[in-house]
Structure 1
Amino acid sequence: MITVLLADDEALVRAGLRMILETEPDLEVVAEAADGAEAVALCRQHHPAVALLDVRMPGIDGLQAARRIAADPDLNTTVVMLTTFDSDDALVAALKAGAAGFLLKSMPRERLIGAVRTATSGEALLAPQITRRLLADLVERSRPQARSDPRLAELTDREREVLVLMARGMSNAEIAEHLVVGTGTVKTHVARVLTKLRVRGRVQAVVVAYEAGLVRAGA
């Protein structure tokens, strides 16, 4: 069973999300929050597998809540940001805050359900149109100030190769096929990359790769 926390300041939005998710036998909404502070407190109480956080909430917003949840060593909650807009600044801030993905509330219900399941698998999840904007934004930001990140020096050649493939948007299965290795081997490499880069998720690792100039759009 995948447990989920919903955080949105609009009760009707939370009710709609709950109704969609709980039609699935493997998904359970264990708590609802109306702001970021309540979301953090309820995460610490219920330890949900996934937290769906609205970006804009009163008081402590979704970005601040994401940072607190990601930084809590007692939590193993995957944060996914939900919003009605796709601002580049909000997107990059959310990913740097520790979110595993950034999804639009306008997405079809089937994609939302799939995204919650994907979040627990360790794969990155971003709406396709947002992925393109993210990569373009990070590349543009990295051009004038790209510099070597000392954390990258800790990676082996194979780990750097895996990171580049992650940055190209490949899933573990696609990386395994590309490198002609097993998915278990890829998962091990990904875990080591995250550990050495000292990031919580693969999306944050991709951000490091782009900002350091390790990869470029279309490369």
Structure 2
Amino acid sequence: MIRLLIVDDHAMVRSGLSMLLHGHHGIEVVGEASEGDEAIAKAEELRPDVVLMDLSMPHGKDGMTATTELKQKQPHTAVLILTMHDDDEYLFRAISIGASGYILKNAPHDELVSAIQCVATGDAYLYPTATKRLMGEFMSRMKDGVDSSEPYGTLSEREKEILGWLAKGYTNKEIGESLFISVKTVETHRSHLMEKLGLKTRPELIKFAAKKGLLNFE
């Protein structure tokens, strides 16, 4: 039996998934959690084979942070991201922090079961269009000669764009208005790029941007 822990901030979603999966296809739902800290605690207590992890949990620790901490504590536990976000930024970040799979909430029941079974055996799972985009990103990096071991090469195009704006002194609000995205989205990109580059302060960011030739104000 595959021991499964379900993590989602909506009780009805957790209940529905539990009823759908428990006892079928060799899956045993051993527990549920509503946010990241509870998920980490339940995983330590229950030792599941697979954690089905939502990303957006506004009332507690989010899925990305929880996945990072869970994989540090229990590297052999597979984390399958189940989310509404069909977005490259989330996809690539989830893979980079150790998630074994990424599947959308609108996926058919059989696909979800297959994904759980796949990551439980130690394999990776991505929904079909995500696999195509991931391969495209890889081929693009190869073509452009990007060194993925160099921190700047790990940034998405949007993160590079926002890095340039930040280095020039623009506020999150000004960047959001210029790029037609929300302030929260800018803050998320900023947090991710600072983490990827190992930067803590704006002066460090400006110095890094200058070295990369990103301070052209034309």
Distance 1:142 1:39, change over 3 A: farther
In structure 2, the residue matched to 1:113 is: 113
What is the distance in 2 between the residues matched to 1:122 and 1:50? 10
Partner in structure 1 of residue 33 of structure 2: 33
Q: CA deviation at 1:122?
A: 1.6
Question: How do residues 116-127 of structure 1 correspond to structure 2 at under 5 angstroms?
Answer: 116-127=116-127
Match of 2:77 in 1: 77
Q: Which residue of structure 2 lines up, in the alignment, with residue 215 of structure 1?
A: none
Measured against aligned partners, the alpha-carbon deviations of 1:116-137 in whole angstroms (never above 9, x if no partner) come to 1111112211100111122223
What is the correspondence of 1:204-219 to structure 2 with a 5 Å cutoff?
none
RMSD: 2.0
Aligned equivalent of 1:102:
102
Question: Secondary structure of the residue that 1:86 maps to in structure 2?
Answer: coil
**One-letter amino acid matched to 2:108:** P
Structure 2 spans left out of the alignment, 5+ residues: 151-218
Distance in 1 (alpha carbons) for counterparts of 2:139 and 2:130:
14
Distance 1:35 1:132, change over 3 A: same
Cα deviation, 1:90-109, whole Å, max 9, x if unaligned, reads: 00010011001100111111
Match of 1:65 in 2: 66
**Does the C-alpha gap of structure 1 residues 71 and 145 become closer, same or farther in structure 2, counting only changes over 3 Å?**
farther
Instruction: Work out whether 1:88 is the aligned partner of 2:94.
Output: no
Computing the radius of gyration over CA atoms, which structure comes out larger, 1 or 2?
Answer: 2
Higher relative contact order (CA 8 A, sep 6+): 1
**Deviating more after overlay: 110-119 vs 131-140:** 131-140
In 2, Cα distance between equivalents of 1:140 and 1:130? 15
Number of residues of Structure 1 aligned to a counterpart in Structure 2: 149
8 Å contact from structure 1 (residues 101, 126) kept in 2: yes
Gaps of 5+ in 1: 151-219
SS, match of residue 80 in structure 1? strand
| CA deviations over 1:22-45 (Å, ceiling 9, x no partner) | 141521111111111111111111
Superposed displacement of residue 139, structure 1 = 3.8
Q: CA distance change for structure 1 residues 143 and 39 in 2, over 3 Å: closer, same or farther?
A: farther
- Tell me by how many angstroms 1:61 deviates: 0.7
Structure 1 CA distance for aligned equivalents of residues 98 and 148 of structure 2: 22
Identity between Structure 1 and Structure 2 (%)? 38
Q: TM-score, normalised by structure 2?
A: 0.63
Q: CA deviation at 1:146?
A: 2.0
1:18 aligns with 2:18: yes
CA distance in 1, matches of 2:124, 2:76: 16
Q: C-alpha distance in 2, partners of 1:120/1:107?
A: 18
Q: CA deviation at 1:70?
A: 1.1
| Residue 8 (structure 1) aligns with | 8
**Partners of 1:6 and 1:24 in 2: CA distance:** 15
Deviation, structure 1 residue 147: 2.6
Shift of 1:16: 1.2
